[in-house]
């Protein structure tokens, strides 16, 4: 197939995907994580600067280390500030680009046009991917996947031409991908799978004859021994190991908070979730932004284990006649492994966004399997083509419907509550939504429902305290902030918010202590220093105020509020030279 046809299919995939997701431009920020990632993150909304770049590289904020993702969002912040539309459009553009490049990847690896287009179209249109695209905080998904595809494209060129330059480009793209999201740590194993199929590089038993595309791959790619193939993956493995160590360090607070989660609970959930994702791929209904962790019965986990093993055995047995089956199944299992929950991070049992990369393997099985079926039953080839086209239309309709739930936070969280049970996290989010809608009574009711399900949640106690504070129930607000801090002593925002309430009631020394606790936990947050400086300035401790305002400006250069506060404090110091004590009255 000539380049013009390839480019036409790529352009068509990009335009169809972008058109389907275009309504996301009108969505607001999500109450789930978008505040941490963008709307309330001054490092992002203030745009690119030396200070923000330093923060991106050194911060373990929101339990992650992904500097490239932060830089991407900061670049958006440079142009869009605190308006969600631009961030959404960039996510959509990245997903559309991923879809078109995925076609190019499989076209380059296999020579198959129709099957590659089908895989890319499934990836572009599947409702399970709505979460990764419509959720601004999941920029890391679409960005890391772009770099994964780039890694595989360069690796494909390396296999075809044997040039070291292509190998080094693949390695560089992989390193950038890890800095966007650490989920790519299993790529070295994935490359080894691709060496077996579709490259046929590794010297394994004959995979069969009579496949023109496979023969073409033999002409383009030299066969090598398993030992050499493994040595080629060592640099990739070193990068994966380094990324894993950094990620574990970044997630240490989340891991320690969930250290009491028994291994059997994590293992049974992992087995069941691996099967459940396949079910959601086949029937993508009742999708939610959060699935609560519930104990999985042993019989259900055992059945899942038997089913997974049976599919793997079947794939191995038919590896000669249908090598794509084993490769696709291993793609799914390998790329899902980092997020399956054996090392549990977060309270979710599973997440739609975790399927963004793994489902590609299952789409390969479907695409190549359908083509094989058409060759075996030529009379049914038209029916298979029609079924494939109808399935794509149904996926597009499902995605359009799922996007509708993301139109506002009330709809998104309300849908999650409808399709899940005993969802403490969703009740917590709905409490925030109700508070933003100006209905504090319903907000408090939602928080209490959340605490009835999960009484040990520091975040829910904090959220309840915020509502109580905003409606002047200060004693109860102090009590709830205290509960949050008791459950999570390193909850910086709870210390900070408690300090504000204590300042309101005149307990200035206690307020200062809480602000300092927040700064000690998160020293890179300019908001904490600016508020502590304001506390000092209001009470005449001007030299300390100047110090805190200066620190805030160093962390966020150009912040108009901190700049104004600093100039006011300096003017007051010139007018009252003796007002420079270091203790609050």
In this predicted structure, the answer to whether residue 117 has a pLDDT above a threshold of 50 is yes
pLDDT in tens, 330-348: 999 999 999 998 776 667 8
| Averaged pLDDT, 418-446 | 95
Q: At what angle do helices 560-575 and 542-555 cross, to 10 degrees?
A: 160
In this predicted structure, the answer to whether residue 190 has a pLDDT above a threshold of 70 is yes
Kindly list the structural domains of the chain, giving each domain's residue range(s) and its CATH number in brackets, ordered by start: 3-247+259-405 (no CATH), 410-575 (1.25.40.10)
How far apart CA 218 and CA 111 sit, in angstroms, is 12
> For residue 571, what are the contacts with CB-CB under 8 A and spacing of at least 6?
none
| Averaged pLDDT, 280-285 | 97
DSSP string, 495-561: HHHHHHHHHHTT-HHHHHHHHHHHHHH-TT-HHHHHHHHHHHHHTT-HHHHHHHHHHHHHHSTT-HH
CB 493 within 8 A of CB 511: no
pLDDT band at 207 (very low <50, low <70, confident <90, very high): very low
Per-residue 3-state assignment (H helix, E strand, C coil) for 309-337: HHHHHHHHHCCCCCHHHHHHHHHHHHHHH
Q: Which pLDDT score, from 0 to 100, does residue 493 have? A: 94
CA torsion, ordered 94, 99, 105, 108, to nearest 10 deg: -130
Query: ∠ CA(107), CA(108), CA(113), 5° rounding?
Result: 20
551 vs 412, more confident: 412
pLDDT in tens, 13-47: 999 999 999 999 999 999 998 898 999 888 899 89
In this predicted structure, the answer to whether residue 569 has a pLDDT above a threshold of 70 is yes
In this predicted structure, the answer to whether residue 578 has a pLDDT above a threshold of 80 is no
How far apart CA 333 and CA 338 sit, in angstroms, is 10
pLDDT in tens, 83-94: 999 999 999 999
Q: Which pLDDT score, from 0 to 100, does residue 213 have? A: 46
3-class DSSP state of 454: coil
Q: Which residues of 342-360 are buried (b: 16+ CB within 10 A; e: fewer)?
A: ebbbbbbbbbbbbbbbbbb
How far apart CA 498 and CA 486 sit, in angstroms, is 12
């Amino acid at each position: 197939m000539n380049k013009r046809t390839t480019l036409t299919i790529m352009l068509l995939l990009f335009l169809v995907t972008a058109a389907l997701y275009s309504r996301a431009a009108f969505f607001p920020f999500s109450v789930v994580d978008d505040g941490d990632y963008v709307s309330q993150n001054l490092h992002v909304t203030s745009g690119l600067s030396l200070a923000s770049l330093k923060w991106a590289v050194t911060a373990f904020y929101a339990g992650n280390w992904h500097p490239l993702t932060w830089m991407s969002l900061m670049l958006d912040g440079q142009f869009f500030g605190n308006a969600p539309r631009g961030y959404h459009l960039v996510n959509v553009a990245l997903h559309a680009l991923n879809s078109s490049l995925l076609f190019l990847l499989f076209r380059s690896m296999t020579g198959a046009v129709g099957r590659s287009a089908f895989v890319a179209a499934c990836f572009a249109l599947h409702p399970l991917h709505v979460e990764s695209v419509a959720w601004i905080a999941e920029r890391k998904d679409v960005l890391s996947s772009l770099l994964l595809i780039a890694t595989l494209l360069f690796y494909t060129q390396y296999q075809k031409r044997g040039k070291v330059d292509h190998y080094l480009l693949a390695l560089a793209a992989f390193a950038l991908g890890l800095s966007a999201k650490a989920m790519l740590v299993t790529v070295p194993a994935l490359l080894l799978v691709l060496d077996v199929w579709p490259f046929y590089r590794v010297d394994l038993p004959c995979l069969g004859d009579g496949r023109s595309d496979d023969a073409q791959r033999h002409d383009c790619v030299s066969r090598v021994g398993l030992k050499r193939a493994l040595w080629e993956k060592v640099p990739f493995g070193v990068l994966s190991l380094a990324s894993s160590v950094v990620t574990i360090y970044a997630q240490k607070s989340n891991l320690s908070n969930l250290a009491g989660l028994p291994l059997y609970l994590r293992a049974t959930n992992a087995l069941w979730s691996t099967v459940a994702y396949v079910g959601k791929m086949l029937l993508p209904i009742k999708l939610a932004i959060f699935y609560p962790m519930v104990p999985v019965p042993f019989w259900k986990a055992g059945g899942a284990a038997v089913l997974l093993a049976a599919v793997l055995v079947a794939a191995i047995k038919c590896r000669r006649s249908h090598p794509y089956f084993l490769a696709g199944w291993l793609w799914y299992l390998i790329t899902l492994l980092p997020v399956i929950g054996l090392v549990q991070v977060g309270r979710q049992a599973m997440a739609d966004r975790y399927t963004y990369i793994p489902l590609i393997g299952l789409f390969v099985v479907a695409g190549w399997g359908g083509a094989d079926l058409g060759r075996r039953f030529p009379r049914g080839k038209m029916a298979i083509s029609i079924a494939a086209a109808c399935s794509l239309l149904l996926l597009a309709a499902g995605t359009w419907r799922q996007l509708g739930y993301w139109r506002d936070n009330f709809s998104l969280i309300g849908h999650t509550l409808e399709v899940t049970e005993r969802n403490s996290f969703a009740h917590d989010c709905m409490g925030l939504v109700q508070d933003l809608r100006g209905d504090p009574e319903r907000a408090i009711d939602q928080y209490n429902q959340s605490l009835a399900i999960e009484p040990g949640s520091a975040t829910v106690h904090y959220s309840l305290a915020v509502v109580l504070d905003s409606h002047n129930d200060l004693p109860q607000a102090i009590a709830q902030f205290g509960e949050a801090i008791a459950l999570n002593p390193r909850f910086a925002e709870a210390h900070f918010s408690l300090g504000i309430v204590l300042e309101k009631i005149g307990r200035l020394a206690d307020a200062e202590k809480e602000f300092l606790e927040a700064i000690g936990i998160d020293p890179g947050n300019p908001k904490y220093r600016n508020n502590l400086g304001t506390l000092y300035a209001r009470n005449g401790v001007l030299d300390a105020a100047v110090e805190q305002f200066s620190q805030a400006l160093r962390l966020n250069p150009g912040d108009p509020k901190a700049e104004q506060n600093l100039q006011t404090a300096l003017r007051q110091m010139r007018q009252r030279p003796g007002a420079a004590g270091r203790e609050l009255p």
